[in-house]
Amino acid sequence: MLHIALKMLFRDRAKYAMLIGGLTFCSLLMGQQTSVFCGLMMWTTALVRNVSAQVWVMDAKAEQANEVIALRQIELVRVRSVPGVAWAVPLYVGIEQARLADGSFQNIQLIGLDTGTFTGRPMRLTAGRIEDLLLPNAVIVDQVAVEKFRRKGITLQVGSTFEVNDKEARVVGICHVSRSFLGQPYIYTTYDRALEYARSQRKMLTFVLAEPVSGVSPEALCDRINQLPGLRAVTLDQLFWETIWWYIRNTGIPISFGTVVLLGIVVGVAVSGQTFYLFVHDNLRYLAALKAMGARMPLLSAMVLLQAFFVGFVGYGIGMGLTAWFGNAVLRAEQPPFFMPWQVPAFVAAVILFICGFSALIGLVKIARLEPAVVFR
């Protein structure tokens, strides 16, 4: 009888199309918006992921990776003195202005890497070598810088020059790293040169990056460093999630995306739920006839559930397919942000299951209350 249920569904083309359309739209809206939200959150953690050190030490009041509260240079030595530290290096992070050849300005995110080890260096260089950072005035720019400069009519390549706070910067390499939340290009140089480029302040050290000795976990090392007054040490993972949660708590981004996702659920329930209810309602007379002919409630339930979950499966498949197509297209263009972890399709599947289950339940209640004798009236 289950194939009969599917035939009843497929051949009611108008309702079938409406059910699939509603669930596809619902899946697309939820999948796409949730993935864009996740992508945006990933942008907020770009620095953490690009530098990728095991232990991050910062000012005790700093709440997340993009909040720059500079430390005194002496803090580097204090961290190095903690038992269990294999090594500790400085990292400079600051927003500066680059002046282009035509006189226009571009905000940049300047990253100063430890001169001896280049800890936190970009892992994917598309031009040049990391060692070339040791050359005078050398910087490595990311693909966002190349793109932004290109839009201003300037071709940035190895050998190009521009100014950072009136000091010359010569491009010795081009890298590909995760783009920042505010979309500013990352410009890598050595720590010492970064201090020269940056506006001079009493405190210039942004982070101390550390690694534990063998046998000491990053968490244990963080606990030890946290004994030092004025410093806060967190693991890479902790900083990643602290940064994301800071943006969730302190910005309107989740509410904005959440509203759209909620709208998707409402549309799904309203359009698909109502259409399915109509579908069951229109077939009620025939379902009553089946009941009179000896179809038992478990069989009728199976038929209705199959119909509901089949349209859910197809709608979900098309919706997530369109989401993946959208993601593939925007990932090539690198914006808007898009990141689809497995939790997104799982979440959308759960919502679609709920919508289909809810729709089927309403239909089943109606069928359960249906007296087979109604066919004689």
Partner 1 sequence: MKTAIRVDNVVKSFGTGEARTQALKGATLEARFGELLMIVGPSGCGKTTLLSVICGTLHFDSGRIEVFDHDLSTMTTGQITRFRCQHIGFIFQQFNLIPTLTAVENASVPLLLNGRHQRDAEAGAAAVLDQVGLGRRLHAYPNELSGGQQQRVAISRALAHNPRLVICDEPTASLDAATGKKTLELLKERALQPDRCVIVVTHDSRIFPYADRIVEMEDGHIIGIHDDPKTYHHA
Q: In this structure, are residues 94 and 188 in contact, taking their beta carbons and an 8 Å threshold?
A: no
Of 52-60, 278-286, 323-331, 339-347: span binding partner 1 (CB under 8 A)? 278-286
- The three-class DSSP label of residue 65 is coil
How big is the CA angle at 172 (ends 171 and 177), to the nearest 5 degrees? 85
Q: In this structure, are residues 88 and 231 in contact, taking their beta carbons and an 8 Å threshold?
A: no
Of 72-80, 100-108, 268-276, 293-301: span binding partner 1 (CB under 8 A)? 293-301
Its sign, for the CA torsion 217, 221, 224, 230, is: negative
Q: Which is nearer to partner 1, 3 or 202 (CB)?
A: 3
| Distance from C-alpha of 160 to C-alpha of 163, rounded to nearest angstrom | 11
| Distance from C-alpha of 46 to C-alpha of 338, rounded to nearest angstrom | 13
Q: Which is nearer to partner 1, 192 or 371 (CB)?
A: 371
Output the six-digit token pair for 105: 């300005």
CB 314 to partner 1: min, Å: 17
Is residue 278 part of the contact set for partner 1 (CB under 8 A)? no
Is residue 373 part of the contact set for partner 1 (CB under 8 A)? yes
Q: Which of 86, 134, 292, 324 binds partner 1 (CB under 8 A)?
A: 292
CB 285 to partner 1: min, Å: 6
Q: Which of 26, 100, 295, 340 binds partner 1 (CB under 8 A)?
A: 295
Q: Which of 248, 330, 361, 375 binds partner 1 (CB under 8 A)?
A: 375
How many residues bind partner 1 (CB under 8 A)? The answer is: 26
Site for partner 1 in 204-263 (CB under 8 A): none
Closest CA to 162 of 197, 134, 192: 197
The residue whose two tokens read 């282009």 is: 100
Q: In this structure, are residues 150 and 156 in contact, taking their beta carbons and an 8 Å threshold?
A: yes
Return residues touching partner 1 (CB under 8 A): 1, 3-4, 7-8, 10-12, 283, 285-286, 289-296, 299, 371-373, 375-377
